[in-house]
Structure formats: structure tokens, C-alpha cells
Amino acid sequence: MAEPRIRISVEGDVATITVARPEKANAFDIDMLKELSAACDAVEANAAVRVAILTGEGKAFSAGGDIRAWAGMEASEFGHAWVRFGHRVFERLATLRMPLIAAVNGHALGGGLELAAAADIRIAETQVKIGLPEAGLGMVPGWSGTQRLVKRFGAQPVRRMLLGGEVLTAVEAQTLGIVDQVVDTGAAVEAAKAYAARIAARGPAATEVSKLMIAVANGEDNGAAVEALGSILVAKTGDLKEGVAAFTGKRPAEFKGEW
């Protein structure tokens, strides 16, 4: 079997997801998108994990979508099998139950920036360049480059990168709020681990719920976030346990409205 190109390692309460295709600057193809989706499921299912880190193997973070993976597609296939599928996978990443830190160890351009934007915190190395070059290729961002990025960073930086073709340094991106911390070359992963320890020391339930509440306030994933919050609350009540017990016991439920 081929080596996985999305790798997971867990140290204590921190999981690290590594995009591992260094010979192609960690560019994604369809199979890698599927692997990333499965990695999200695996990390989220591990009850011990409180924080996740996302990074790239080698000197690259991610070059985004591999042009060879989609260049030969017909318009309909490109829109559905590539853009919509990739969008769903990145949305899955952005809505992990635990905080996600991007250790941006290389350039984050196009889909690579969309990947980094799915994280809650971004720590970039000083040599990193950030931008949205899609319009120069006659295309538009497809993995939430005009949606999540605008919600999280504001419209103007996105206009500058997408319409003007500006490429930002890590320091410039930090002044615009796109990057939260800039570190020396080679130091992103260790800095991310230090920040992860800081998060993991806080209340896990409060941290998870706070992430959902922030998403609602920012206009992201409102429906799913509200239903998740409501479901968690109701699941903690005696009514849910009584309702299940009554159903399985084939008897009328005796709800007490206990919170």
C-alpha cells in the first residue's frame, strides 16, 4: 500500500495532522482530500485530543490544489467533484470540535491559504509568503477563499490579494490579522505545540463551546453550531435519558425538566 499523504500523530492531548506530499509542495489531489476528511473524523473521534495542529511536511505548508489533478476536468466535473468536494472537506476541517492551529512552515498561496484559514490560530514562519493567485490563472478561489477569508480577516485584504495579486509577507499578514504569530524559519511546529499546551490547559468543555459560539457570532456555520450547542445542552439533561429509557422500555416517558 502507498504511504498515507495525510498523517496523524498524537502526543497526549494534542494531535498533529501533517500534509505529506513534499515532492509536490504538499499539493492536494482528490485522494488527499479524502484522506484529510478521514483524518478529521479520526482526530475528532479521539476523546483524549483537546487541540489539533495542522502543518506540512518538508519546506512547504501546502501549494493548495494540484493543477494536474483538475486541469483535464470538464466544467461540471471541476465544479462538483473538485471544487464542491474540496469545499466540504475544508469546512469539515474548520469545524473540528477542538481548536485547530496551523503551523505554516512554508508558503500559503491559493488553496494553501484556504487550508490555513480553516484553522483557529495561524503561526507562520518569517519566510512565508501569503496570497491568492487564482485570478492570474483565470480562475477563482473554490475552497472558501472569498467566504471564510472575508469573514475572518475582512474584505480588504482579500481584495488586495485576489484582485490586485498582492503577495504578503508573514509580517504583513500579521498586521492584517491573517497571521497571529510570526516565528523564525523552522520554528512553527514547536511554537504551535507551545500554543496547543496553552489551550489544552483550559477547560475542554468551555473551549469547545466557545469555539462554536465564536463561529455563530462570526456568521460561520450558524445552523450546525446552534444545533450542536442545543444538542449538547439537552443531552446533559435527565429528560434525554428518560426519553431513551422510555422508548427502549416501550413505556410512557416521565419527563421532569431537569437541567
Tell me which residues are annotated as active site.
Answer: 114, 134
Helix (H) or strand (E) holding 40: helix 30-45
Do 25 and 128 form a contact (C-beta atoms < 8 A)? Answer: no
Tell me the three cell numbers of residue 164: 490586485
Question: What is the distance between the alpha carbons of residues 188 and 249, in angstroms, rounded to a whole number?
Answer: 54
Q: Which of 8, 95, 104, 91 is nearest to 62 (CA)?
A: 104
Beta bridge partners of 15: 10, 52
Q: Which of 88, 86, 92 is nearest to 112 (CA)?
A: 86
Q: How many CB atoms lie within 10 A of CB 84?
A: 13
Give the distance between the most distant pair of CA atoms in the chain.
66
Question: What is the distance between the alpha carbons of residues 64 and 112, in angstroms, rounded to a whole number?
Answer: 4
